[in-house]
Amino acid sequence: MESTPPATLGVMDSHEQTRPTTPSSLFEGIGVALVTLFDEHGDLLAEATAEHAARLVDLGVNGVLVAGSTGEASALTDDERVELVRQVRAALPAHIPVFVGTGQPSARAAVITSMRAVDNGADALLVLSPPRSSDSRPYYEAIAAACPSTPILAYHFPAVSSPGIEVDTLCSLPVAGCKDSSGDAARLLDEVQRFHGALYVGNPVLLALAGILAIQGAILAVANLDPALCHRAIKGDAEAQIAVAGLQQLTAAGFPRVIKQELHKRFGTATGARLG
């Protein structure tokens, strides 16, 4: 008797799905790269950040990333990162996964940061590739060995940590998926063909393409502002795609202060920032 092929999941239902089933600790659709809120003195507002995360879940986000580049992770202490993880995890429904950014310049530091994140409620880790590294495999292998039960997403963002991760290298890493914030459409097409983990775009200019390719979804800074717009774009709404790209251009030009100001206009949140 001929066996039935395994079911696959994708973002869109209108075409044949091509990506593998997403692990339950990951998600499908739109995730938010959560801002970290600070008061006017630069003091951490962990509870307010968690409340903002809960608001975004109510507005439709499917996953939350804490302490990523949008969350000004480089300006956080280890204890502040732990407090954010605890507060956000406690504020969200159990079915919404909390990712924590744990990338560091060295494998040793990244292992410590990753283990603390897992111990304090992280459902998955987003690990930025190490700077100036021609081979990031030992780095990711060390983190995977230290956190064997926690899904890891490799994070390709060469504008922040050059040179990033070559697709050949990505395919050999012990990771469950990848967030690609390069905004490179050709690379995304290559990843879809060769990488067998979950894929998330980090640049909203590629949302419509991500939907067509039926990748798992996106983890976006602009989802702090308008999750519904992001959902429409990934489902193929051309006007929404143009609008979300414009929102990205606006907020990226003066990061992080512009996105904090826009958030204040929409939700009344604090505008303090440590970077920029």
Which of the residues are catalytic? Answer: 155, 179
Rounded distance between C-alpha atoms, residue 7 and residue 28, angstroms: 15
Rounded distance between C-alpha atoms, residue 33 and residue 63, angstroms: 9
- Sign of the alpha-carbon torsion through 235, 237, 238, 243: negative
219 annotated as a binding-site residue: yes
Rounded distance between C-alpha atoms, residue 207 and residue 171, angstroms: 22
Asked if 260 and 272 count as a contact pair (C-beta separation under 8 A), the reply is: yes
Rounded distance between C-alpha atoms, residue 85 and residue 105, angstroms: 21
Name the residue among 40, 19, 37, 36 with its Cα closest to residue 28. 19
Which residue carries 């995977």 as its tokens?
A: 144
Annotated binding site for pyruvate: 70, 219
